[in-house]
A and B are shown apart, each in its own frame.
Chain A
Amino acid sequence: MSAYTISIVSIIGINVILAVSLNMISGFCGQISLGHGAFFGAGAYAAALVMVGLANVPLALLAALLAGSALGIIVGFASLRVRSDFLAVTTIGVNFLFVGFVRKQTWLGGEMGISGIPPTGFGAPGNMVMILVLACATVAFSLYVNRSWMGFAFRAVGEDEQAATTLGIAANAYKLAAFGIGTALAGLAGGLYTFFTQFITVDAFDFIFSVMLMAMVVIGGIGSTWGVVAAAIGLTVLPEAIRFVNDYRLLVFGGMLVLVIRLAPGGLAALIRNLFVRARQA
């Protein structure tokens, strides 16, 4: 495997974790979050600090996980107080606050970011395997959650919060759980990203990145784990596969987001489901 392939596969793995974790919050539980990049960034910075200080991989991953979910649970509390549109604006705000805050912190490297992060010692292929294993685990976990009682409660809260509360589902607890789990996984992805690049700046975690993650979820079909995985892989490979797309990446992402919502608001998953239904009827 060439170094190029290894790096692409690593990025795909990271993006799959991010998109699937965002899908748990926004797809399963219906809490639109446009600030997923902030949790990703929190994890990346936490892992970078641990690696620079202690050079301990498991500890760095744990720190990334905890940093992501700590910030996520704080935002989760916000989701208990504000609904739908307000929550979307709040999470956009969280993303801008994160970037604006980190940029001014000298202990986090400010504008220059953190460089010279010690390697994990597994080499690039080893890192890739670790990323892929964790990505598969994330997908399996997402599928499991979706079938579990918790997934049912998430969907109930996402569909109609009041009705769910009437049925005795503790909506607040489940919303917090969705945020806690989803953002912990985003933090984990951040840690992996730090291992992968060994150099982080805050610009990698900006709002535009959060929009791309949301694009993956929406294009894949909000709520569908496999659809989101497919979209995450597709949207990561697309700019690499077609050279010219790389220069117009945002144009293509934005355009696809608009087109998919306009033509198939259910995303890939709904398109395929409809095809099956039609094939069966024919």
Chain B
Amino acid sequence: MGAGGPPAFCSASKDDAVYYIDLAVTGISFGCMYAMMSVGLTLVYGLLRILHVAHAAVFALGAYATVLAANATGSIALGFVAALIVTPLFGMAIYRLLYEPLLNYRPDVPMIASVGLLVLMQDAFRIVFGEQGVTFRRNAFSFRTFDIAGVTISAVQIAIVITAAIVFLGLHLFTTRTRIGVGWRATVSKPRIAASFGIDPIKVRYLNFAIGSALAAVAGGLVALLNNLVDPTIGFVVSYKALAIIVLGGLGSVRGTLVASLVLGLVEAYGTIFIGAWLDRDAIAFLALIILLMIRPQGFTGAHTA
């Protein structure tokens, strides 16, 4: 489901060193994808203390927007543009219509509403676009592979890693070099003080949802390209992995999320060899999560305690 399944591009045999490099490539590309998916979640948690489970629906919406617009226009780039327009609006709508009225309740109230929204959206995707899902009509890009010293890397994997690098560099520059970005960070760490310096916390929240959703949409579009398929379950497993990742990364920490995503991508890639016989690949993230939470209940960094 979603980004699950065995590594698709392993051509070498198990005894080969190349096989392990192949796994590393798979692991890193999945890790980058997880990072783009999870960072929106962690931003929302950092700002509002809500576990935004419906983020997976945003991710799926991004994937659908990409594939539908790409099929309509014949250009994959336009597909991504469409996703980048639709999803931030959707993300902001979720905040305005669902979370804002629930901010004064216990944190599990908005979370359960969020789970409800995800289940609803997933079924809506199934009803509107069909159980079988949608494939790209013209997608030569998906199947192009490069052979580098015996290691097979697909163009999509390279695109995922490059996109993630650009996105995180951009995010870093945005939050350290621009006024809006600094205001955003200030609001996340000290909302009252930031507000007293004239930063509108409501605008920051919308910005937060817009950026987080856009990143999820990019990740969704890339996964759509990788699988050459968008089906209703695309966001499902990934979304719960993302929950595990943001907890592993210490809720609210972007850097922790990035590290946890890459670690998880690699652990999953190699983990399938060693424990794949008795545990589903998709459950590995939660095994890691539960072990970590038992040792360190505050997560890796412990920056925010729940």
Contacts and interface: CB of A to CB of B under 8 A. Distances in A.
A253 B281 CA distance: 29
A103 B122 CA distance: 23
B165 interface: no
A84 B123 CA distance: 28
Interface in A234-282: 248-251, 253-258, 261-262, 265
Given A93-B244, A253-B120, A254-B123, 19 more contacts: A32-B108, A85-B49, A85-B111, A88-B111, A92-B243, A97-B286, A99-B280, A100-B283, A100-B284, A104-B280, A208-B119, A251-B120, A254-B116, A254-B117, A254-B119, A258-B113, A258-B117, A261-B113, A262-B97
A257 B278 CA distance: 35
Interface in B98-123: 98, 101-102, 105-113, 115-123
B230 interface: no
A89 B115 CA distance: 12
Contacts of B112: 32, 214, 218, 257, 261
Contacts of A34: 115
Contacts of B240: 92-93, 96, 207
Interface string A184-214: 0000000000000000000000011001001
B148 interface: no
B283 A101 contact: yes
Given A81-B297, A101-B278, A261-B109, A255 B120 contact: yes
- Which range contains the number of B residues in contact with the other chain? 35 or more
Contacts of B108: 32, 84-85, 88
A97 B290 contact: yes
A206 B98 CA distance: 26
B101 A254 contact: no
Contact of B297 (A82, A94, A208, A251): A82
Nearest to A217: B112
Contacts of B121: 254
A266 to B, nearest CB: 10
A90 to B, nearest CB: 6
A207 B241 CA distance: 13
Interface-central residue, B51, B118, B119, by most chain A CB under 10 Å: B119
A100 B268 CA distance: 13
B123 A250 contact: yes
Given A96-B286, A257-B112, A78 B280 contact: no
B306 interface: yes
A32 B112 CA distance: 10
Contacts of A81: 293-294, 297
Contacts of B282: 96, 100
A262 B294 contact: no
B124 interface: yes
30 contacts: A32-B108, A32-B112, A83-B297, A89-B243, A89-B244, A90-B289, A94-B286, A94-B290, A96-B283, A99-B280, A100-B279, A101-B283, A105-B278, A214-B112, A214-B115, A215-B116, A250-B122, A250-B123, A251-B120, A251-B127, A254-B116, A254-B117, A257-B119, A258-B98, A258-B116, A261-B102, A261-B109, A261-B116, A262-B102, A262-B113
Interface in B288-303: 289-290, 293-294, 297, 299
Contacts of A104: 277-280
Interface in A2-53: 32, 34
Nearest to B296: A81
Nearest to A100: B283
Given A96-B240, A101-B283, A261-B102, A86 B297 contact: yes
